């Protein structure tokens, strides 16, 4: 049942080229520059005129929401707020009939996310679901939705469900941009052509496994770990930190790289591994100065870099290469080595990878 892998988590990490391909099937037409999302088709006109989107979710799904915010604002130019379902539901938030709420949930059973949906629905908002488990409770109470089709995820730590959520949100951002006319057809042709190749690039990113395993040996006894990223690399940092803490029980924090100097920099010394998303995109130079700040305080830097990078390699203690891509698709690739890192560290520490202590696959109590 684990298909020859030692754990479901590893199997699910390796399934990602396929699960993302499944998620895109019948939804993208790269040559025509067209995205089709049957599940929200009846709301296509409404999407032309919405003022605001609110994304509600918990845990890893909330991290996917942050990537969604970045993409929807960038391409569809619609303001997005990303809320923890548990905070949103108790805050008497301002919601109107004009709002679209996107609820993201792998299981489709998370109690706080369900309650947030019920509340927004009562106030007249349109609710879209992004769920993995077909026919679960959340897809039944939403007005429309797009399934992630990642297949069953058994490991408590979300891996392939996360990348499928990010893929769906990417498709939603492009779909909304297409409806609103905020993206040209030629740009969409270009982006969809690249997206179509992302499963192959994930396959390449998975080849970092051996180097990641070797790095894991060095850091398995760390007590703390910092993850830094900028732009859409920031949610990736948050997700990397969550994976590490939930399955290896190492204290980890994700931070926007520039926020480091507003506090966490005080923690940095030779005992503190700092994982930095330092791929070649718009914030590359800025991230390089953040790495210098860490090195000046004797921190140990593990950098996720673009294939062929030379700059970061001069500074970082360890580098893990991923294929080059547009910034839009960076989260899908940069997440892969971080999943592997948390996996190997947890295995080396003798942790129960698929069933970490105190955690359940779906959190149906608030």
Nearer to ligand M6R, 161 or 278 (CB): 161
- Does position 35 interact with ligand M6R (CB under 6 A)? The reply is no
Nearer to ligand M6R, 113 or 216 (CB): 113
Nearer to ligand M6R, 110 or 335 (CB): 110
Name 92's Cβ contacts closer than 8 Å, sequence gap at least 6. none
Name which of residues 203 to 242 contact ligand M6R (CB under 6 A): 242
Least distance between ligand M6R and beta carbon 103 (Å): 9
Name which of residues 63 to 122 contact ligand M6R (CB under 6 A): 105-107, 110, 113
- Does position 16 interact with ligand M6R (CB under 6 A)? The reply is no
Name which of residues 243 to 282 contact ligand M6R (CB under 6 A): 246
CA distance linking residue 322 with residue 314, whole number of Å:
17
- Does position 335 interact with ligand M6R (CB under 6 A)? The reply is no
Residues labelled catalytic: 361
Nearer to ligand M6R, 267 or 363 (CB): 363
Total number of residues that touch ligand M6R (CB under 6 A): 17
Least distance between ligand M6R and beta carbon 12 (Å): 11
Least distance between ligand M6R and beta carbon 246 (Å): 6
Give the footprint of ligand M6R on this chain (CB under 6 A). 58-61, 105-107, 110, 113, 156-158, 242, 246, 359, 362-363
């Amino acid at each position: 049942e684990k298909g020859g892998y030692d754990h479901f988590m590893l199997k699910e990490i390796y399934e990602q080229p396929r699960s993302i391909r499944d998620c895109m099937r019948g939804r993208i037409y790269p040559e025509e520059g067209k995205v089709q999302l049957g599940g929200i088709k009846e709301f296509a006109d409404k999407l032309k005129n919405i003022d605001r989107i609110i994304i509600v979710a918990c845990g890893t799904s909330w991290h996917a929401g942050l990537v969604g915010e970045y993409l929807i604002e960038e391409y569809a130019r619609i303001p997005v707020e990303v809320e923890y379902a548990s905070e949103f539901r108790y805050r008497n938030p301002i919601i109107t009939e004009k709002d679209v709420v996107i609820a993201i949930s792998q299981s489709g059973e998370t109690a706080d996310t369900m309650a947030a949906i019920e509340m927004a629905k009562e106030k007249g908002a349109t609710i879209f679901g992004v769920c993995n488990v077909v026919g679960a409770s959340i897809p039944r109470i939403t007005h429309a939705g797009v399934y992630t089709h990642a297949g069953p995820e058994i490991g408590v730590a979300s891996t392939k469900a996360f990348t499928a959520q990010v893929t769906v949100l990417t498709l939603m951002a492009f779909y909304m941009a297409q409806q609103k006319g905020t993206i040209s057809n030629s740009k969409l042709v270009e982006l969809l052509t690249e997206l179509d190749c992302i499963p192959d690039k994930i396959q390449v990113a998975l080849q970092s496994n051996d180097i990641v395993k070797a790095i894991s040996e060095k850091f398995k006894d760390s007590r703390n770990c910092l993850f830094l990223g900028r732009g859409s690399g920031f949610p990736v940092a948050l997700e990397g930190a969550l994976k590490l803490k939930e399955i290896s029980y190492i204290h980890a924090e994700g931070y926007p790289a520039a926020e480091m100097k507003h506090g966490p920099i005080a923690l940095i010394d030779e005992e503190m591994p700092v994982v930095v998303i330092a791929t070649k995109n718009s914030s590359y130079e800025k991230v390089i100065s953040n790495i210098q700040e860490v090195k000046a305080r004797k921190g140990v830097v593990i950098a996720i870099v673009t294939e062929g990078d030379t700059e970061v390699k001069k500074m970082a203690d360890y580098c893990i290469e991923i294929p080059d891509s547009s910034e839009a698709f960076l989260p899908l690739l940069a997440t892969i080595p971080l999943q592997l890192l948390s996996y190997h560290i947890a295995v080396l520490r003798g942790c129960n990878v698929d069933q970490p202590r105190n955690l359940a696959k779906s959190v149906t109590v608030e």
